[in-house]
Structure 1
């Protein structure tokens, strides 16, 4: 893949003035989110102003508000599953026009010069600035980044993605994180006809993995703690659904899968899951447990198996994913909520009480 980001690396030529927009923010760590206003920068030469229509709630939003992964920048406006419409463009913008349907995912900038950026892997930027995340980050202007739980967003034109007309914006929003997080490893490790793929966990990430792996032609099995969501899993495209609470499945399914993608953030016995792989198979971690994981080396040695990880996707692959989902009629399974339900939604995510992604209607912010 080649890098699709070729715009100027500065945002110093502004048009108009900075603006204040409505948003929902956590003012301090672990605090409930509340309505507030935040600044958005003036449009730079290559910036676009997006009217946010929908913003998904990712479990990582909750982790970052709670500082589970380290110190945060507050006030914090979460949201990196953003779907909207271009409202205005800077004078040097060539890719977008007012009215275009666009999405913004987990990052809004990168160095644009390192090997990874030039290869279209901006999520792995190794430059001095590193990947600039959509919220809880610091932009080129030295100011904090604020996410999609807001009415408007300003972003460099190269870091927005085209949402095909075939995808409704509400079900497209979660594709900008949950969708690409599963599409990338399934594509990289060759999920397709003749391959047996297991998805560990049927949540916001896992349900997208089932849909995408099925559309790619793989034989798909869901490995979940219980059979509570079995009917959903089969409806979404799984060929089989097994409960990992039954220890017998680890012997019954030993040596079965070419690829296992683990979407859960709980502490699992990864050595046991490695035993489910065929010779040369790969277990890919996309969930982020709070504690370090341990693996028995023999689980890797016997069968030349691999344990790997994957984090979202770069700009070219994310666009590829959106086009793939449009072609195959794939959107997230969502529950649409108003902004005043965000805190209740956070509590329900922690209780695993959502099927399968909350999406905020930004018109209610």
Structure 2
């Protein structure tokens, strides 16, 4: 297999600062699309991975990035979905087994086949090579794992939709957020701010549950109807039994039982944040009001395209801070300090 060398920002080893290097990209095969990356979002998962915080030795040097927006610059001879000049995106995975029940149902994020869900970076592809992510100038991806970005969404604001956007759209769609439904979004960060925008556009009554009232004006601007501080015990008394659906975007340890108390009978609490420690759940909290505690992870290719089309129709993009590649390490520290409103996006022209 022939390769092309492209510049990228990568971690040379676990916990090391990212630096500019070159990486190899395969030449486009029959069904591959070559994408010139214009923008790449910074996801908290990128930081966890390059710092070895998820119990994996990892593969280094590693270029992270799975919120990719760009333009098609070449296609393989068998490509039918895209042509040169198309505005496209790539999300959290670039392949899957294609044969298991989940893949056949368009739920590639839950692939159970031997190949599994092939992450956009740090995973082993079907060619045996380790995938490298979007902190680079170009990427080659099979056309079946590429998304079309509507013309109405600026590419820089579209990039975070490929992870943050679909991570919130999927549970909101699955549990049918919409008119007549009361939805709470826990946390107003990169994930939470997308949840507010999408749930509002779906027609739900939206409440933000944030640690303090510091971001209240932002929450209301983004489409929330109500905003409460979870640091105030009165919040949990006032809102008890009020929500049909709660989506928890927070990756820190929280008292899940307290949040279950905010659900109506038959309500659902969906976990999309990934806390480091196991959580204690009181069975009676679930049993006595037929509550559901669920999890959700990104979306499959069909649903991700559905999300992009929905965002295009409703004028939804991420609220971003555009940075140069040499600011990535500084941006990581600011993400950890919750000092971003609400997603850093790298201008790939600066790589």
With structure 2 as the length reference, what TM-score do the two structures score?
0.99
Question: Which ranges of structure 2 fall in alignment gaps of 5 or more residues?
Answer: none
Question: d(CA) in 1 for partners of 2:81 and 2:235?
Answer: 51
Report matched runs for 1:290-305 at 5 Å. 290-305=276-291
Report matched runs for 1:238-277 at 5 Å. 238-277=224-263
Provide runs of 4+ in structure 1 moved above 4 Å.
none
Q: Select 1:306's aligned residue among 288, 292, 296.
A: 292
1:203 aligns with 2:189: yes
Q: Deviations over 1:156-204 (max 9, x none)?
A: 0110000011111000000000000000000000100000000000000
Offset of residue 70 of structure 1:
1.9
Q: Which residue of 2 aligns with 1:9?
A: none
Q: Which residue of 2 aligns with 1:114?
A: 100
Q: Which residue of 1 aligns with 2:304?
A: 318
Q: Select 1:27's aligned residue among 12, 18, 22.
A: 12
Q: Which residue of 2 aligns with 1:58?
A: 43
Question: d(CA) in 2 for partners of 1:340 and 1:267?
Answer: 32
Q: Secondary structure at the match of 1:205?
A: helix
Question: d(CA) in 2 for partners of 1:352 and 1:41?
Answer: 37
Q: Deviations over 1:325-345 (max 9, x none)?
A: 000000000000000000000
Question: d(CA) in 1 for partners of 2:252 and 2:105?
Answer: 32
Give the root-mean-square deviation of aligned CA atoms.
0.6
Question: d(CA) in 2 for partners of 1:189 and 1:248?
Answer: 28
Question: Which ranges of structure 1 fall in alignment gaps of 5 or more residues?
Answer: 1-13
Question: d(CA) in 2 for partners of 1:302 and 1:81?
Answer: 41
Question: d(CA) in 2 for partners of 1:28 and 1:18?
Answer: 23
Offset of residue 43 of structure 1:
1.1
Q: Select 2:129's aligned residue among 143, 153, 172.
A: 143
Q: Secondary structure at the match of 2:233?
A: coil
1:333 aligns with 2:319: yes
Q: Secondary structure at the match of 1:304?
A: coil
Offset of residue 248 of structure 1:
1.2
Q: Secondary structure at the match of 2:97?
A: coil
Question: d(CA) in 1 for partners of 2:276 and 2:59?
Answer: 19
Report matched runs for 1:68-147 at 5 Å. 68-71=53-56, 72-147=58-133
Offset of residue 22 of structure 1:
0.2
| 8 Å CA contact 1:135, 1:146 repeated in 2 | yes
Offset of residue 80 of structure 1:
0.2
After the TM superposition, which of the residue ranges 322-331 and 63-72 deviates more from structure 2? 63-72
Q: Secondary structure at the match of 2:59?
A: coil
Q: Deviations over 1:76-117 (max 9, x none)?
A: 110000000001001111111110110000000000000000
| 8 Å CA contact 1:68, 1:290 repeated in 2 | no
Q: Which residue of 2 aligns with 1:6?
A: none
Q: Which residue of 1 aligns with 2:22?
A: 37
Offset of residue 252 of structure 1:
0.9
